[in-house]
Structure 1
Amino acid sequence: MFSAWLVALVATMGAVFIGEIMGQTPCVLCWYQRIAMFPLVVTLGVGALAGDRNSVLYSVPLAVAGAGFATLHVLLFYGIVPEAIQPCSAGPSCSDEAMMFFGLVPLPVLSLVAFSAIVVFLVPVLRSRRL
Structure 2
Amino acid sequence: MLARLPSRPLLALGAAIAAVATTGSLTYSLGLGFAPCELCWYQRVLMYPLVGVLSYAWYTRDTGVYRLVLPFSVAGTALAAYQSYLQVVAGGTCALGGCATVYVRPVTIPNQSLLAFCLLTGLMAVLLVRARRP
Query: For this structure pair, what is the TM-score category when the shorter chain's length is used for normalisation?
Result: 0.7 to 0.9
1:7 shift after superposition: 0.7
What letter matches 1:27 in structure 2? C
Distance in 2 between residues matched to 1:94 and 1:17, nearest whole Å? 13
**Any gaps of 5 or more consecutive residues in structure 2?**
1-10
Give 3-state SS (helix, strand or coil) of 2:30's partner: helix
Q: Which has the higher contact order (CA 8 A, sep 6+)?
A: 1
Would you say 1:101 and 2:104 are equivalent positions? yes
Count of aligned pairs: 121
Which residue of the other structure, out of 5, 24, 27, is the alignment partner of 1:17?
27
- Residue matched to 1:31: 41
TM-score, normalised via structure 1 length: 0.83
Between the aligned residues of both structures, percent identity stands at 29
TM-score, normalised via structure 2 length: 0.82
Which residue of the other structure, out of 114, 119, 126, is the alignment partner of 1:112?
114
Higher helix share: 2
RMSD: 1.9
What letter matches 2:122 in structure 1? V
Question: Residue 67 of structure 1 contacts residue 115 of structure 1 at CA under 8 Å; is this kept in 2?
Answer: yes
Correspondence 1:61-76 to 2 at 5 A:
61-76=71-86
Distance in 2 between residues matched to 1:80 and 1:23, nearest whole Å? 23
**Any gaps of 5 or more consecutive residues in structure 1?**
none
Give 3-state SS (helix, strand or coil) of 2:98's partner: coil
